[in-house]
Every structure is written in C-alpha cells, then in structure tokens.
Amino acid sequence: MQSIKSKIISRIYGHGRGWCFSQIDFADIAVRSTIDTVLDRALAEGTIRRVLRGLFDYPLYSELLQTTLSPDMRAAASALARKYGWNLVPEGSTALHMLGLDTQVPARLQYYSNGPDRRYVIGKRTLEFFHQKTKHTMIHDHFAATVVQALLALGPHNITEKHRQHIASIKNRRDFNWVVRETRQVTGWVHDEILRIAALTGENE
C-alpha cells in the first residue's frame, strides 16, 4: 500500500499545484478501491481538496495571502473530460480568454463536447458543457479548436491585425502549419483567417 500511495502522491506533486484530477488519473497504478483509500487519506491530511464529487485538486497556494486559492476552472474542465472521455472545445468567450484576446475572467467557462449537457458550480464560478457535434467542434487538436472558436466569436468583420498578430505570437510556424491542416473543413472565412495568421508566425523552433 505504501508503494502505491507513494506513486499516487508523487503523480499529484509531479503535476504541481492547481492540478485537478479524479480516480481515473491513477487507474494504471492501482484498483479503484485502493485509489479511493489513498485519496481519502490525502484528503483527511489536507494534501488535496475535494472540488466536486469524485473530483479533487492539489490546491494552489498564495504565499502573499497565506491561503489556498480557488480551484483552477480550466484544470477542472480538463479533469472532467478525462474522467468521462469527452473531447472538449472551448466556447467563443472562453476561447477568447484562453488566447488572451479578452482579459476579463468569465464567471462562466463554457465548452462544447461530445458528451451530455452538464453544469457544475465550483465556488462562485460555473462550468457548463454543451453537447454539440459540428465541423467546428469536432477538431481534436485543442489549440486549433480554440483558435476556430475565438475567430467565430469575433466574427468576420471584427478581426483586426492586432488580433492576428497576437494569435500568431502564441505558436511557431511549424505548429501553425498543423493548425492549418487540422482546420481544413471549417467555414471558408475562418480558414482564410487562419492562413493569414499562419503567414505572420515566426520561424521559431
């Protein structure tokens, strides 16, 4: 048991503070009952925190405030996706925030998924998942899908050169060539914008 406990705790520490997880993230280490026992002990010891039923995190901690911080909502969304086998695509406003095109932190993080409609309240913030399977939400590369949703949210007449330059600065030319390939089936004007952004990327490797 101690060896298994060490492996589970090491994995938690290895991901660093803010990581959100469920029992499925340790399914390669031990059987469910053993995982539950280890997590229950870690919970009682204050090492981890319960975020939702069946979902935990290794809490972020502020040295300045000398207290734990609220759960990372994006990490929680990723943990739920791993738990249920969902493919997630951020909805427009969430995508804009993820790419740094909108600095206002949304009270609701919204995602499209291949799973059922779900809504979770974590503290004062909300996670919402909407079942939607379209050519814009079935893109498996997360960054490519995020760019598509951000462009759709901005609309064809509101995308500026500043927007393009900002997105182009996030990835290098090689990575953006992959985005171009991954988004060939999206609406024409969206792919045209992706081509323009790709042309602005540097040659950083």
Structure tokens at 123: 């503290």
Based on the fold, state whether residues 53 and 121 are members of the same structural domain.
no
Torsion sign across C-alpha atoms 142, 126, 107, 65: negative
Based on the fold, state whether residues 90 and 60 are members of the same structural domain.
no
Based on the fold, state whether residues 105 and 154 are members of the same structural domain.
yes
Angle subtended at Cα 12 by Cα 10 and Cα 17, rounded to the nearest 5 degrees: 125
Based on the fold, state whether residues 103 and 62 are members of the same structural domain.
no
Residue 73 lies in a domain: no
Based on the fold, state whether residues 128 and 196 are members of the same structural domain.
yes
Based on the fold, state whether residues 57 and 105 are members of the same structural domain.
no
**Per-residue pLDDT in tens (0 to 9) along the chain, 205 residues:** 569 999 999 999 999 999 999 999 999 999 999 999 999 999 999 999 999 999 999 999 888 888 888 999 999 999 999 999 999 999 999 999 999 998 887 788 999 999 999 999 998 899 999 999 888 988 889 999 999 999 999 999 999 999 999 999 999 888 899 999 999 999 999 999 999 999 998 644 4
Residue 48 lies in a domain: yes
Residue 131 lies in a domain: yes
Based on the fold, state whether residues 130 and 48 are members of the same structural domain.
no
Find the domain containing 101 and state its range.
86-200
* Residue 93 near residue 130 (C-beta atoms within 8 A): no
Size of the chain, expressed as the number of residues it contains: 205
DSSP assignment string, 88-125: EEE-HHHHHHHTTS--SPPSEEEEEESS--EEEEETTE
| This prediction's pTM | 0.86
Residue 79 lies in a domain: no
Based on the fold, state whether residues 146 and 47 are members of the same structural domain.
no
pLDDT in tens, 162-197: 999 999 999 988 889 999 999 999 999 999 999 999
Based on the fold, state whether residues 63 and 112 are members of the same structural domain.
no
Based on the fold, state whether residues 55 and 100 are members of the same structural domain.
no
Residue 125 lies in a domain: yes
Residue 9 lies in a domain: yes
Domain count of the fold of the chain: 2
End position of a domain, from candidates 10, 35, 68: 68
CATH number (domain holding residue 43): 1.10.10
Residue 45 lies in a domain: yes
Based on the fold, state whether residues 62 and 90 are members of the same structural domain.
no
End position of a domain, from candidates 68, 101, 120: 68
End position of a domain, from candidates 68, 99, 114: 68
Residue 10 lies in a domain: yes
Based on the fold, state whether residues 52 and 117 are members of the same structural domain.
no
